[in-house]
Amino acid sequence: MAITATISVPLTSPTRRSLASLNNLFPHSPRSTLPIPRRTFKYPNSRLVASSMSTDAPVKTPSASFLNRLQTGFLHFAKFHGLGNDFILIDNRDSSEPRITAEKAVQLCDRNFGVGADGVIFVLPGINGTDYTMRIFNSDGSEPEMCGNGVRCFAKFVSQLESLEGSHSFTVHTGAGLIIPEVLEDGNVRVDMGEPVLKASDVPTKLPANKDSAVVKSELVVDGVIWHVTCVSMGNPHCVTFSREGCQNLLVDELKLAEIGPKFEHHEVFPARTNTEFVQVLSKSHLKMRVWERGAGATLACGTGACATVVAAVLEGHAGRICTVDLPGGPLQIDWREEDNHVYMTGSADLVYYGSLPL
């Protein structure tokens, strides 16, 4: 069965795009009011056809026939990434139910037979007085409470859908509660991630609390090795480790993440599974981290993981409350503020391309 995919690669700044161009990409959006012009993409006469039996070179097709296909049975999306943690973004503002199933999301996230992504994110109508609702399916089909890099991409996508310019913020309902992203003048996104949850039973973890109600630098045996872990929830569970038996400061580049990551994720002391952050302390304000994400595996970045890492670093005495966290995909700025106990994350979110796929 042939699959037709059309991709538009942005050659100009996304913030300079007109609302008209977005209407072309999301013609069924309830907030789109402009007519659909005859040309939709930068390269309107190109169509890429791929088959499970053979691979054809790009062929020419009249733009009119392509536009006819756009209007029936196609899923329109935008591909974004936050420091290499990449997502398929879908305008779902006309319904409170995602336009595709978790099973379909798994297919789309496949990097060989689909679009390729760490997850699929939906922009749904707000509830409980919020402006929007965010839901996400991981690449394995599971649904996490929230995603830090994902919410930055969500914010930039909404800005384009609504043709917003300059600095602006809005409220987002997530499975982790209220999240408030703010798109800054420089194009980065600062997100109020709320208060970290430290109570062991709420993370959740079965490890016994050893500091008030929290698990801080507790011993955890994984595959016969004793690791020292601190457990934090940023609306989703995190297990953060800076050391193991015989190694007081991890060299994270030397870790075999694909081997050890799943053993943490599925450990019996984490009833909801867990994200795991392996952290190297560079200074009191500079940390280096690699992550194994629950439901997605090794990724280039994890926003909630960076937040949990700084909280854990403060609790263990490794760092101060304002840190740069280096991830494989780039840096995030994390600020755990004493005045309100909220964690603020600042980083980039970039458009990769727009596309359409048959449903």
Q: What is the pLDDT of residues 240-283, one digit of tens each?
A: 999 999 999 999 999 999 999 999 999 999 999 999 999 999 99
- Tell me which of 18 and 338 has the higher pLDDT: 338
d(CA 73, CA 161): 21
Tell me if the domain spanning 74-194+351-358 has CATH number 3.40.50.880.
Answer: no
SS3 for the chain is CEEEEEEECCCCCHHHCCHHHHHHHCCCCCCCCCCCCCCCCCCCCEEEEEECCCECCCEECCHHHHHHHHCCCEEEEEEEEECCEEEEEEECCCCCCCCCCHHHHHHHHCCCCCCCCCEEEEEEECCCCCCEEEEEEECCCCCCCCCHHHHHHHHHHHHHHCCCCCCEECCEEECCEEEEEEECCCCCEEEECCCCECEHHHCCCCCCCCECCECCCEEEEECCEEEEEEEEECCCEEEEEEEECCECCCCHHHCCHHHHHHHHHCCCCCCCCCEEEEEEEEECCEEEEEEEECCCEEECCCHHHHHHHHHHHHHHCCCCCEEEEEECCEEEEEEECCCCCCEEEEECCEEEEEEEEEC
pLDDT at residue 12 tops 60: no
What pLDDT score does 163 carry?
A: 93
Is residue 302 among the annotated active site residues? yes
Give ranges for CATH 3.10.310.10 in the chain. 74-194+351-358, 200-341
What pLDDT score does 262 carry?
A: 98
d(CA 136, CA 106): 12
Is residue 323 among the annotated active site residues? no
Q: What is the pLDDT of residues 183-204, one digit of tens each?
A: 999 999 999 999 999 999 999 9
What pLDDT score does 9 carry?
A: 59
Q: What is the pLDDT of residues 287-322, one digit of tens each?
A: 999 999 999 999 999 999 999 999 999 999 999 999
User: Average per-residue pLDDT in the chain?
Assistant: 85
Q: What is the pLDDT of residues 82-134, one digit of tens each?
A: 999 999 999 999 999 999 999 999 999 999 999 999 999 999 999 999 999 99
What's the whole-number mean pLDDT along residues 201-215? 97
Of 153, 231, 239, 302, the catalytic one is 302
What's the whole-number mean pLDDT along residues 131-145? 97
Q: What is the pLDDT of residues 44-92, one digit of tens each?
A: 333 333 333 333 333 333 333 333 445 568 899 999 999 999 999 999 9
What pLDDT score does 7 carry?
A: 58
d(CA 85, CA 309): 17
Supply the pTM of this predicted model: 0.79
Tell me if the domain spanning 200-341 has CATH number 3.30.2140.20.
Answer: no
Sign of CA dihedral 123, 153, 140, 310: negative
Of 109, 147, 231, 307, the catalytic one is 147
